[in-house]
Structure 1
Amino acid sequence: MQTNELNDGKQSSRKLFKYKNLMPLWIAVFIDILGFTLIFPMAPYFAELFSTSTFMIGLVFSVNAMFGFIFGPILGKLSDKFGRRPLLLISQMGTCIGFLLLAFSNTLEMLFISRMVDGIFGGNFPIAKAIVSDDVPPKDRGIQMSNIGIAHVLAGLFGPALGGILFTIGGNIFLPGLFSAGLSGLTMILTIIFLNETWPKEKRKEHTKRKSHVDEKIRKNHHALFFLTLFGFHSTSFMITMASISFFGAIVFNLEPLDISIILMISGFVRTTIRFTLFKPTVRKLGEANAIRVGLSMFLVCFFIIGFSVNVIMFLVLLIFISFAASLTRGPLNSKISQTVSPKVQGKINGLSSSLDSFAQIMGPLIGTFMLQFFMPYWLGIVVASIAFPPFIMAFQKIELKVNKSPKQQS
């Protein structure tokens, strides 16, 4: 019995890291997310640093996502035309410049500009998902998409703690911003040296010829629209909660940046442990569709309760459950979305899903900071749970997907 379980674990691990050519991508994505999570513990204290309101800082984070919402699909479509690798490098370079501007920001206007630049070049995730879709067949795509979730988990373990320490040492955003810029520069080096092009010129020409015969329109694809709508509602509720964590801790529990970084680090540690122990057995036992349903159910309950948190321990436990729900939901949902279209528009569909994430990131800081500044904390939970309810209902509708495969994946 133990031997069988051990073999299952080894097979699952091999499947998780089956596509060795994607390892440089996962490392680059991890470093990119790490740079972004460094600034999480500092967010509530930007208001003090720049002599403005909490809501205005929420607007700063929303502006970043607003530009990502506009330019994400553009970069995704450009990667369909010119290849994934060059567009990924351009996105990483823009992120690096954005963090450098952040490091030297000494006015609110400069802070806005730094976040705008980062948003304009925020094509890392749609292009990363398109790269997975290029090389990975649908049966393995959910697990490989979940590697983005693993990158989030690991970055969430180290990033906030490091950011809190750097902020405490420097007393401002210079050290965290400079360190994040350095990490972004490192992702460019890794991409240049190790990452192979997954959408070469030959494939682009082949699909351009096919496109002249069949013009695939996503707006006429009911399966794609269904899953994009579900994902949009889910992402909005999720991002409001994620954007509010640091502000909630500072406003409700009077926590300092280092305290917030410690809470996020503990949450990240538990989340990492759960991700590498319970996640795969749970998905294997429930199946992808049921895992999504369980995850969305957990989101709905936890989002409602979190606004009623009476102490830091309760707050932390709810964050851990939310993290587990994210593991069950976000990777498999991205996989479902990618399976609704053919290979030639993977950049486009992943650009659209990332735009929905960007839209959620626009609304998240705005709604979160607005609710926490002007209303009692429990109203935040009520509003977020209301937004999480539609995807919870939609997830229990049965929709059969017609899986699209590239010639390479069919062989």
Structure 2
Amino acid sequence: MTSEIQNPNTQSTTPIGKVLVPVFLIVFTDIMGFGLMIPLLPFYAEHFGASAFTVGLLLSVFALCQLLAGPPLGQLSDRIGRKPVLVLSQIGTLAGYILLALSNTLWLIFLARIIDGLTAGNISVAHAYVSDNTPPEQRTKAFGIVGAAFGLGMLVGPSLGGLLVRHSLTTPIWGACVLSALSIVATTVLLPKGIRAEHKGPSKTLLPVKPILACFRDPATSGLFLLLSLFYFAFNTFISGFALFLAGRVTWGGEPIGPQTAGFMFAYVGLLGFFFQAIALGHLLRWFRERTLIFAGFLLMTIGFGALSLSHTVLVTLVFLTLSQSGAAVLRPTIMARISKRVSPQRQGLVMGVNQSVMSMAAILAPLVVGILINHGLYVGWALWMSAIAVAGAFGVSHISSMSDEPVVS
């Protein structure tokens, strides 16, 4: 095995197009399946008697499993390569979707999300693969293209789910199963082997707490991980609460919002993400510094989420959604690329695994807060809470010293 591993300090000779095209297709297919299912999940759980808090708990359990699995999967991909770990993660996702579609009780829905969560390394490993195989000067744009695949998947997935849910609540989930299987085939057939980090020997712990803490203590990455944590917390508050917000507060033609319209609203979020990350981000990077884009992203989220508290109709919701999600679309790839450029090739997999854990910690806490707020009918409080988190992010950009420095490798 050792003889096959390239020196991580040697730039990959794989053309960037051969790296990004298959990764784009894989992430797009994965997220399209996710987008088919996620707007439906609150309605599906409520069909089995779940309250808003139970829906939040369902999302939190999935994220807790992600938290436990993220760093070990990242370290495993450092040792044996990104591609086999990516396939393993995708197989777990498929198994979780199949069980979810077959569920007839609430506890089986929880079990399905646990299985999916424990193998949920798809996106973080894909990010590490891109980090391995793109030069630092092209990495922000590369992450933007991967983010565009995320946005396009969130555009097509919820739209397709909104159409399929007309047949039954489980039809979109079976559609997600088909897409997950196609993603496994795409990874196996299309993805080049890529480079691998040096073999470090077996991991001594299941959850590498010290490396996680080190990322938050390292001056090169601590401030960026703090900003990423705030972004994930705000974004997960939005994702976990938006369908419940629509169903409880927003009307369409005088009627409450159902799963079909909610799917189309999520699709609009995906459209914004695709536009900004596939088309606009490259131009924005030529005109503005990364620090400026990150500050503007948090500022747009502050305004958009705050104004969302005033919304009662679909049209007004779409206007304020445009502001908040335009900011969110720019933030994640820009922060992720900046983190990637500040760590050595040997640490890319671990750092991307830590990123997965940071996202999971936010996804554990945010749905619980959402469940408490919406259970008490505090829809305005839900929107203002997200706005307050974004304010903290904008304040952080202005006061984190490393944001004004050129990236240095640690």
Pick the TM interval, shorter chain: 0.7 to 0.9
Q: What's the secondary structure of 2:180's corresponding residue?
A: helix
Are 1:67 and 1:116, in contact at CA under 8 Å, matched by a contact in 2? yes
Q: What's the secondary structure of 1:169's corresponding residue?
A: coil
Are 1:132 and 1:145, in contact at CA under 8 Å, matched by a contact in 2? yes
Q: 1:90 to 1:273 in 2, by over 3 A?
A: closer
- Show the counterpart of 2:409: 404
**Partner letter of residue 177 of structure 2?**
A
Q: How many percent identity over aligned positions? A: 29
Output aligned runs, 1:326-337, within 5 Å.
326-337=328-339
Q: 1:341 to 1:361 in 2, by over 3 A?
A: same
- Show the counterpart of 1:76: 74
> Offset of 1:144 from its aligned partner?
0.6
TM-score by length of 2: 0.87
> Offset of 1:23 from its aligned partner?
1.4
Instruction: Give the Cα separation in 2 of the matches to 1:257 and 1:167.
Output: 7
**Partner letter of residue 404 of structure 1?**
V
Instruction: Give the Cα separation in 1 of the matches to 2:269 and 2:340.
Output: 30
Larger deviation, residues 190-199 vs 69-78: 190-199
Q: Paired residue for 1:231, among 222, 228, 231?
A: 228
Name whichever structure is richer in helix by fraction. 1
Instruction: Give the Cα separation in 1 of the matches to 2:28 and 2:173.
Output: 17
Q: What's the secondary structure of 1:51's corresponding residue?
A: coil
Note the alpha carbon deviations across 1:181-229, whole angstroms, 9 max, x for none: 12111111111111122234xx524x78xxxxxx995455222111111
Are 1:76 and 1:126, in contact at CA under 8 Å, matched by a contact in 2? yes
**Partner letter of residue 225 of structure 1?**
S
**Is 2:284 the partner of 1:287?**
no
* Runs of 4 or more above 4 Å deviation: 273-277
Note the alpha carbon deviations across 1:14-56, whole angstroms, 9 max, x for none: xxx9432231111111111111111233233224310221211
Instruction: Give the Cα separation in 2 of the matches to 1:229 and 1:39.
Output: 30
- Show the counterpart of 1:377: 379
**Partner letter of residue 183 of structure 2?**
T
- Show the counterpart of 2:347: 345
- Show the counterpart of 2:123: 125
Instruction: Give the Cα separation in 2 of the matches to 1:120 and 1:321.
Output: 34
Name stretches of at least 5 consecutive residues in structure 2 with no aligned partner.
1-14, 202-209, 251-255
Note the alpha carbon deviations across 1:282-332, whole angstroms, 9 max, x for none: 332112221111111111121222122132111111222222112221101
Q: Paired residue for 2:186, among 168, 184, 190?
A: 190
**Is 2:241 the partner of 1:244?**
yes
**Partner letter of residue 283 of structure 1?**
L
Name stretches of at least 5 consecutive residues in structure 1 with no aligned partner.
1-16, 209-214, 406-411
> Offset of 1:276 from its aligned partner?
4.7
Instruction: Give the Cα separation in 1 of the matches to 2:279 and 2:217.
Output: 40
TM-score by length of 1: 0.86
Are 2:294 and 2:334, in contact at CA under 8 Å, matched by a contact in 1? yes
Instruction: Give the Cα separation in 1 of the matches to 2:277 and 2:215.
Output: 33
Instruction: Give the Cα separation in 2 of the matches to 1:404 and 1:285.
Output: 25
**Partner letter of residue 262 of structure 1?**
F
Q: Paired residue for 1:204, among 191, 198, 204?
A: 198
RMSD: 2.1
